[in-house]
Structure 1
Amino acid sequence: MTRRELDAAGITGAGLRAAYRYCRELNARHGRTYFLATRMLAPAQRPAVHALYGFARRLDDLVDEPEPGATPDSIAATLHTVEEGFLAELAAGTSEDPLRAAVIDTATRYAIPEAYFRAFFASMRMDLTVTGYPTRAALDEYVHGSAEVIGLQVLPVLGTVVPREEAAPRAAALGKAFQLTNFLRDVAEDLERGRIYLPADELAAVGVDRDRLAWCARTRRLDPRVRRALAEQVAATRRVYAEARPGIALLHPASRPCVRTAYVLYGGILDRIEALGYNVFAGRARVPRYRRLAAAGDALVRARWARRRHPAVT
């Protein structure tokens, strides 16, 4: 992490600065698109975002990329140990682990509630035993902990022009919209892990079940009923984006270009899914590189202009 970012964030002490540098390197290595998006934020904001990303990434990898020979029970035991240790360290305000030290410092600086971290752990535990969601309400429970709380954690870092609680529902909706987009793009990949993150009752209403989705994944072809089901899920996800959109104007002006760009690019994945005729089994839906570069370039210009006019993020 650059000295400029650490100094701007008021992070002092060699150990803590090293902890944040570790998180920045982790983000740059494993979350390239996310890392580039942080460049649109003010230098003072970037360390906290890197820390929150790094922590979520570590827990996600613990569940989705376990050590050889690990079982659901052993992973659950490890996750429990990590959770108990982290919550104790959070209460104490310090940790020997560099990643946790950085995220605890971030949580303290920005008064991020412990409940958000507990909710994230709860959703990670669900991934160990839950392979499908019977209803939208059941899926929403998972998404709250896996995505909505991420938006809520980042909100105080971004800053708002209204009381935080007024912007919170919009921030949660944006995290949810991004997660639902991932679910649609990654149907085939999730099936390989034995999971389906689409409401079973909504799929069943148009004649789709796990076996039919598995056939599509196996053949890389699209059944007409699956196409209809995915079109309905895309439409439902667009409604969540519409719910989240007004929240961008509630953010500090210097943070809006970054979030607006993420909004546009993630929404663009839905456009690509539609353009592919909803066949998410034939290949990964990606926003074309030229569109990503154009959006990022425009956002960087807007972000620099906004930071000059509105330098303080509180």
Structure 2
Amino acid sequence: MSRTLEQPAPPSPQVLAAYRYCEAVTEGQARNFAYGIRLLPTARRQAMSALYAFSRRVDDIGDGPLEPAVKRTRLEETRALLDRVRAGDVPDDATDPVAVALADAARRFPIPLGGLDELIDGVLMDVRGRTYETWEELKEYCRCVAGAIGRLSLGVFGTLPGARDAERAPHYADTLGLALQLTNILRDVREDAAEGRTYLPRADLAAFGCAGGLHQDVPPPGADFAGLVRFEVRRARALFAEGLKLLPLLDRRSAACVSAMAGIYHRLLTRIARDPHAVLRGRVSLPAREKAWVALRGLSGLDARRAARRTLPETSR
């Protein structure tokens, strides 16, 4: 997926305005995502903002107060809009800035737009109230709502020419998305339960005596809630270890972006592992100063360069 495409002409004033709208959405609503994409060059930052704004629209439909039947209709309308983007049927002067920006981004980068169909499919799982018996079933959901985002992002980043294992980049991007989503699920376990959603596999809940639910500040009597959380943390860490093999396949700025986002979530995971019951008391988060520090560390490229020495062919070093 190394980029050899000629870049189109500079964006028109209408497209630039659409990108500014998407960047404002990203800055205003992306708690962790924005820290990474600030590190990208302008064109890639704009494209990632368009992807975020479209994804945010899909998520907002799923999380909103509408009745399930209305949500399903809205989601299919959004899919129809995506079909128009895919067909090149969104002019620069269209009235929907997210569609305009996404259409321009898709012209500039080899973005696999089918990943946004997967996102819609994943949100439809939420609307239908699906639960998950096993990790394999939950992994299907995580691939739709997060792994797909990793693969979409890779379409913007591209891979370094000559990088060993470049054909594995989509797998690594997908796996990193799974790691981020499982971290989200652990962080939001009580909030989701209060809304009637249970994401953790029922088999895992039963194994640790938590099948009775996680709606309270304290777990059910006799439950090993800390054991459950640490079990899922180990799973997430294994996914991070595999997914971060993506870093040496990317250029410095793209690797910095990925490293920043992954670093924030990995630190969040560490905080959860240190005090598993904290997720029952409220949302666990990192202070803005720490997130900014992680982003700055990603920009240094030290981790990516160390990994690159192990991944690039000898002639590329």
TM-score normalised by L of structure 2: 0.84
Task: Determine the structure 2 residue equivalent to 1:221.
Answer: 218
Quote the Cα distance in structure 2 between the aligned partners of 1:153 and 1:175: 11
Quote the Cα distance in structure 2 between the aligned partners of 1:122 and 1:212: 26
Quote the Cα distance in structure 1 between the aligned partners of 2:64 and 2:10: 32
- Matching of residues 24-173 of structure 1 within 5 Å: 24-66=23-65, 70-94=66-90, 96=94, 97-161=96-160, 162=163, 165-173=167-175
Contact 1:213 1:226 in 2 (8 A): no
Q: Which moved more, 1:155-164 or 1:294-303?
A: 294-303
Task: Determine the structure 1 residue equivalent to 2:181.
Answer: 179
Contact 1:227 1:279 in 2 (8 A): no
Contact 1:156 1:164 in 2 (8 A): no
Task: Determine the structure 2 residue equivalent to 1:281.
Answer: 280
Q: Unaligned 5+ residue runs, structure 1?
A: 1-7, 307-314
Contact 1:38 1:49 in 2 (8 A): yes
Alignment length (residue pairs): 289
Contact 2:253 2:299 in 1 (8 A): no
Query: Would you say 1:190 and 2:186 are equivalent positions?
Result: no
Quote the Cα distance in structure 2 between the aligned partners of 1:164 and 1:111: 15
Query: Would you say 1:240 and 2:236 are equivalent positions?
Result: no
Letter aligned with residue 75 of structure 2: L
Quote the Cα distance in structure 2 between the aligned partners of 1:222 and 1:24: 40
Letter aligned with residue 198 of structure 1: L
Quote the Cα distance in structure 2 between the aligned partners of 1:228 and 1:32: 28
Task: Determine the structure 2 residue equivalent to 1:311.
Answer: none
How high is the sequence identity, in percent, across the aligned residues?
32
Task: Determine the structure 2 residue equivalent to 1:212.
Answer: 213
- 1:146 is displaced (CA, Å) by 0.4
Contact 2:59 2:123 in 1 (8 A): yes
Letter aligned with residue 91 of structure 1: A
- 1:71 is displaced (CA, Å) by 0.8
Quote the Cα distance in structure 2 between the aligned partners of 1:12 and 1:150: 24
TM-score normalised by L of structure 1: 0.85
- 1:264 is displaced (CA, Å) by 1.8
Q: Unaligned 5+ residue runs, structure 2?
A: 1-6, 306-317
- 1:212 is displaced (CA, Å) by 3.3
